[in-house]
Structure 1
Amino acid sequence: MKKLIIFLFMAGTLAVAKADEQTPAKINEKATALTRTMARELQLNELEYIKVKALNTEKLAALFEARNAYQNDPEMQERKFAELEQSYDQELTQLLNRNQYEKYLAWERTSNESLTSFLAE
């Protein structure tokens, strides 16, 4: 019985470690996909692309962290998501010119792709 408990504990530990290893790659993959779409829709130049990708990566990591931290408290999770979205929009206004930001707002309203939509995938 003791061996079974130790085995299950070790298997669980390995599964958690494996999931943690995949998270940064998954976040980077999702940030790249989102940024490529944004670059096309907003006509970003190379420097803007790099800055927006860094912002997308940072915010997606924060969203995944909030999702995991508040998975048992949906109300708090939604509040945290809203805070992160607001912060993201504020930072985007600093990175994009007025025309690009207006295109972003229009794209965000009509598209299924947004920062929080990447959590579901």
Structure 2
Amino acid sequence: MADERSSKITIGGAEYEMLLTTKATKEIAGRYGGLSNLGEKLMKSENFEMALDEIVWLITLLANQSVLVHNLKNPVKKRELLTEEAVELLTSPFELADYKNAIMDAMYKGTKRHVESEDEPSKNAEVG
């Protein structure tokens, strides 16, 4: 994946690229009602266990997007998908806090718009 669209994390010694795709956006919308509700839901989780569950779900979802893209492009050399159980077993709560920044970075990169303006003569410039 191109770095401008992903954020890298390491889980259990394996590197994953967290990527916000249209597919992931649809799953987030189904679970939270949209990207804009995601932050609010995470902050208002009933308890610590629920907050951890949501972060683990997001990490798994976003990390698997790059695996799914790889598998689509390389049907002969498929990689195994990450599971929520693997994320829970191979990480510590301290690492999850770091991954939260990677989640936000991947989501920002996935929703970023590149706007370029064309060179246009100034309306105050003299035409000669």
Higher strand proportion, which one? 2
Higher relative contact order (CA 8 A, sep 6+): 2
TM-score (norm 2): 0.34
- Bigger radius of gyration, 1 or 2? 2
TM-score (norm 1): 0.35
